[in-house]
Amino acid sequence: MKAFILDRYGKKQTLRYGDMPEPTPGADDVVIEVEAAGLNQLDSKIRDGAFRPILPYKPPLVLGHDLAGSVIRTGANVRRFKIGDAVYARPRDGQIGAFAERIAVKESDLAPKPANLSMAEAALIPLVGLTAWQALVERAQIKPGQKVLIHAGSGGVGTFAIQLAKHLGAIVATTASAANAAMLKELGADVVIDYRSQKFEEELSNYDVVLNSLDSTTLEKSLKVLKPGGKLISISGPPDPAFARAQGLNAVLRLVLRLLSSAIRRKARRAGVDYSFLFMRADGRQLEQITKLIEDGTIRPVVDRTFAFEKLNEAFAYIDTGRAKGKVVVTLK
């Protein structure tokens, strides 16, 4: 089958369009004909080699963490899906590879595609949707009336998280450029802080939750807007000891991550704030909950650009600029 292949790690490394073996499904796997695949910063970071210590993939490998397509084969133990079903997923770590014509995915990572979305729109959802769900529903346990700051509101996670937080009844603030303010208010943001002309740490106070996806400076400044007992959740690092334990990392890596996160954890303790790092996981059942919110109109995907599959490297070059509003997708059909 045709796929885009990462032959070696490297900053902005070009992916090679070539042939890869057909997926060999296990008893719990579903083989999917990929019709669309979403791009994420996670793909760029893996390509660049940033995650080698904690996600030790060995090139040549196929990237891609978001997909939508049709079931063409099922393993012996599969019961929830049949050939011809339209599905979408974020494959689990170790089983990624959406930038290919076909992929094998665990049944438990799959969900039926939202009926009101095209394949291209559905392929934008899984990674950012699950990230927002696990941060705001599972970890923060947002309650109506709570105040939530979501950084980088115009990005893939941000556009989804704003809508989800508003659905949960939160008062939502976000950081973005002034040019994106109108769009973000349409999605549900109550307050939009222009990061170019305003300092969010001076404008906001007494917040319950901050979802950070930016740099360490923004992470530390976020402590100032949280009230005692608030939660600072970061998807951009630094990873903490709880993450290291959950990943089953060796003693050396556990020590390294403990040291990397020691400063922010210490400052959070002094502020009476809970700091945690979130590295989202695949979860088909949670994706089914997200599907309901999409089908009832509560949440809608935000599409920036659509590229043909053959233009995947051009799509990567675009997301590497950091200017995408929402998500970028490649289509195979």
Q: What is the largest CA-CA distance in the chain?
A: 58
Q: Is 3 exposed, middle or buried (0-12, 13-18, 19+ CB in 10 A)?
A: buried
pLDDT tens profile 101-157: 999 999 999 999 999 999 999 999 999 999 999 999 999 999 999 999 999 999 999
pLDDT tens profile 193-228: 999 999 999 999 999 999 999 999 999 999 999 999
**C-alpha to C-alpha distance for 154 and 184, rounded to whole angstroms:** 7
* CB-CB contact of 224 with 201 (8 Å): yes
Which pLDDT value is given to residue 322? 87
Which CATH number is associated with domain 2-125+301-331? Answer: 3.90.180.10
Which pLDDT value is given to residue 247? 87
Which residues, 6 or more positions from 303, have their beta carbon under 8 angstroms from its beta carbon? 120, 121, 124, 326, 327, 329
* CB-CB contact of 330 with 306 (8 Å): yes
Closest CA to 161 of 152, 7, 257, 54: 152
pLDDT tens profile 91-110: 999 999 999 999 999 999 99
**C-alpha to C-alpha distance for 173 and 232, rounded to whole angstroms:** 14
pLDDT tens profile 14-27: 999 999 999 999 99
pLDDT tens profile 30-48: 999 999 999 999 999 999 9
Quick one: pLDDT band at residue 235, thresholds 50, 70, 90?
A: very high
Tell me, which fold does domain 127-277 have in CATH? Rossmann fold (3.40.50)
**Sequence ranges of the chain with CATH classification 3.90.180.10:** 2-125+301-331
What's the pTM value of the predicted model, to 2 decimals? Answer: 0.97
Which pLDDT value is given to residue 237? 87
**Sequence ranges of the chain with CATH classification 3.40.50.720:** 127-277
Which residues, 6 or more positions from 218, have their beta carbon under 8 angstroms from its beta carbon? 151, 212
**C-alpha to C-alpha distance for 128 and 154, rounded to whole angstroms:** 12
